[in-house]
């Protein structure tokens, strides 16, 4: 699904130039659950922006589903983000006084999808993200942090993207609630075959993935598969 070859990213020029990424290369297969881990300043946020088609590399190539997106213009990148990538961020970015169902439907409204299909697809995504139908008409400010993040995951799923890109998705959650959210990602990967890339600086979060790519100072230190840590399941 993802082919990254010799990606570099340089900010500025001349004496003030800073190279955030220094020849990064890796592949991610369809259906993998990957964690990209590194401390602040490691280059993981820059890499996340490139994988999410929010930025382009200075050199090298990035292919998503066989398409080279590394040389696309802003309009083409926007189309890729809309059709192929679902984003889940540390900040939930939901409308607080809007129902759960409508929050998930919003991307479909902007895409011009009809009302009946919008509701069907939103409900299906919410169910896949672990939300029960009894919560669909609750407003997002009436939910717990873990429930809000699962709504955000459902919103990321609603356009049926090839890739789920999760940037520090447990950063605003306590440990117990974070486990619930990580369990949701594992279920989406195992039962629904979703490809997930998780960006984190926390080793215990990264261990919930099947493979960890560790970067530091813009370079890959290690890229290893490991025994996946299963999220503890809690009733919420």
| CB hemisphere CA count around 220 (13 angstroms) | 18
pLDDT the model gives residue 130? 86
pLDDT of residue 171: 86
What is the C-alpha separation between 192 and 225, in angstroms, rounded?
A: 21
The pLDDT of residue 236: 42
Check residue 233 and give its pLDDT.
Answer: 59
> What domains, with CATH codes, occur in the chain?
31-54+85-225 (3.40.50.300)
Res 226: pLDDT: 86
Which pLDDT belongs to residue 47? 94
- Classify 166 as helix, strand or coil: strand
- Rounded Cα–Cα distance for residues 95 and 140 (Å): 7
Residue 142 makes CB contacts below 8 A (sequence gap 6+) with none
Model-level pTM? 0.88
Low-confidence ranges of the chain (pLDDT < 70): 233-236
Distance of alpha carbon 78 from its chain centroid, rounded? 16
Token readout for 222 is 């290690």
- Give me the pLDDT at residue 29, please: 96
Tell me the H-state helices in 10-144: 44-51, 74-84, 100-110, 115-128
């Amino acid at each position: 699904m993802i082919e990254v070859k010799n990606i570099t990213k340089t900010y500025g020029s001349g004496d003030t130039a800073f190279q955030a990424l220094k020849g990064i290369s890796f592949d991610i297969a369809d259906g993998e659950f990957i964690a990209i881990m590194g401390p602040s300043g490691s280059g993981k946020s820059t890499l996340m922006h490139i994988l999410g088609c929010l930025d382009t590399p200075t050199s090298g190539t990035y292919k998503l589903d066989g398409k080279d997106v590394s040389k696309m213009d802003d309009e083409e990148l926007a189309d890729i983000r809309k059709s192929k990538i679902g984003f889940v961020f540390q900040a939930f970015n939901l409308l607080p006084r809007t129902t759960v169902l409508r929050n998930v439907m919003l991307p479909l409204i902007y895409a011009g999808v009809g009302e009946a299909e919008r509701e069907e697809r939103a409900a299906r995504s919410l169910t896949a993200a672990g939300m029960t139908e009894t919560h669909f008409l609750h407003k997002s400010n009436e939910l717990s942090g873990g429930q809000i993040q699962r709504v955000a995951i459902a919103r990321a799923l609603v356009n049926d993207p090839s890739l789920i890109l999760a940037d520090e998705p447990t950063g605003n959650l306590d440990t117990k609630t974070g486990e619930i959210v990580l369990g949701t990602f594992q279920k989406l990967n195992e039962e629904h075959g979703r490809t997930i890339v998780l960006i984190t600086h926390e080793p215990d979060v990264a261990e919930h993935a099947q493979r960890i790519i560790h970067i530091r100072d813009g370079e890959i230190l290690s890229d290893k598969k490991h025994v996946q840590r299963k999220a503890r399941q809690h009733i919420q």
